[in-house]
Amino acid sequence: MATPTLAVLLVAGAASLFMAWAIGAGSSGSTPFAPAVGANAISILRAGFVVGILGLLGAVLQGANVTEAVGQELVVGEPLGATAAVIGLVVAATLVAVGIFAGYPIATAFTVTGAVVGVGLASGGAPAWAKYQQIGALWVLTPVIGGGLSYGTARLLRAESVPERVAVPVLGGLVGLLLANIGFVLLGPPDEQTSVATAVAVAVDGGLAAAAGASLLVALLVAGVLAYDMRASGPAASQRHFLLALGGLVAFSAGGSQVGLALGPLVPLTGSLELPLVALLFGGGLGLLVGSWTGAPRMIKALSQDYSSLGPRRSIAALIPSFAIAQTAVFFGIPVSFNEIIVSAIIGSGYAASGAGGEVSGAKMGYTVLAWVGSLVGAFAVSYGAFLGVSAVL
């Protein structure tokens, strides 16, 4: 592939930065802390500031897998050329912009995936069926698993037979177990992510037993901290603290999973420049941060009004599976919609409350799903046609 010109890099970089800003200002910058704001655990401005920092950290420490997948694994045989990458980015960014300013729910993950696959196939690439099966499986299972886990968690927190002083630390222990096994760039060899459990096992040369022991230790530590907080601060305050911590974890995960949507198409362009991936991730993370600081507070204020009706328990029940699903997407390098994750989890926690089934609008759910499908199909068709048209002119 020929080295892209400076003009091509500038156009692609501008579209990528706009995508990063839109992601930071949209769902990944606003939904993680909206439940905590609704529960009066943190102010709106402070939430916007914190989510920007955590999104930047997540992008740098966990963004490699999804970024490389979007840039190199959605089509096979023929890597994205400069023209294809620019058209894919511009189409996706334009559709996202239309959604933002017109008020339509354009799903960024579906839009970027459709645009990249469209230009990739139009430029001579072949479908990456194995990757599409992974992506399709996660997209289809997210509402089922996320909603089911959220429902079960909410029921546990509402069960009179299970005291909160037991339920909250147990849930915290499960979150700690996940924390011990998610990958971070700084813990592994260059360009690879390694979990705390794996790093400990390698350090002591203990194998699977050492990794399991490290995971259990982290789980017990988190559970112990929450148990102490329950006694020292009381159940209500402890729930708010737990909710705030979960919001931070989801914000961090959002940075790791969503930055690849903005940066992925740039990977083929920057390869010839020998630009380190971590530098690219840092630039995308800065775009998320600016979006979170400039646009997320307004969105957080709007969303917190919806989340406040959930209360701390249902918000906790929604954020735990959201964290787990987002980290699954990061691990497998799968672009995923945070709107889909959060909406599914909220619906599950909503059904757990007595009489809450009527609160979930079937029509609204149907329109949301149609918007997701339309984002994917529309981005594919527009980018495919745009590439063929530009190629014919050139």
206-215 contacts: CB < 8 A, separation 24 or more? 214/180, 215/177, 215/180, 215/181
**By three-state DSSP, how is residue 194 classified?**
strand
| Residue 229 forms part of a structural domain | no
Digit-coded pLDDT (tens) for 128-175: 999 999 999 999 999 899 999 999 998 888 888 888 889 999 999 999
| Residue 279 forms part of a structural domain | yes
**pLDDT score recorded for residue 178:** 94
**pLDDT score recorded for residue 363:** 67
Rg (CA), the chain: 21
pLDDT band at 358 (very low <50, low <70, confident <90, very high): very low
Q: How many domains does the chain have?
A: 1
Percentage of residues in the chain with pLDDT exceeding 90? 35
Model pTM? 0.88
| Residue 169 forms part of a structural domain | no
Beta strands in the chain (DSSP E): 75-76, 126-127, 183-184, 194-195
| Residue 144 forms part of a structural domain | yes
Query: Poorest-confidence range of 170-174, 324-328, 352-356?
Result: 352-356
Q: Is the pLDDT higher at 363 or at 62?
A: 62
| Residue 208 forms part of a structural domain | no
**pLDDT score recorded for residue 364:** 63
| Residue 382 forms part of a structural domain | yes
The full DSSP string for 237-287 is: HHHHHHHHHHHHHHHHHHHHHHHHHHHGGGHHHHGGGT--HHHHHHHHHHH
Q: Residue 94: pLDDT above 70?
A: yes
Residue 191: Cβ within 10 Å count: 11
Digit-coded pLDDT (tens) for 371-384: 888 889 999 999 99
| Residue 44 forms part of a structural domain | yes
| Domain extent for 319 | 6-159+247-393
| Residue 240 forms part of a structural domain | no
Digit-coded pLDDT (tens) for 222-249: 999 999 999 998 888 888 899 999 999 9
Digit-coded pLDDT (tens) for 191-214: 677 889 998 988 888 788 999 999
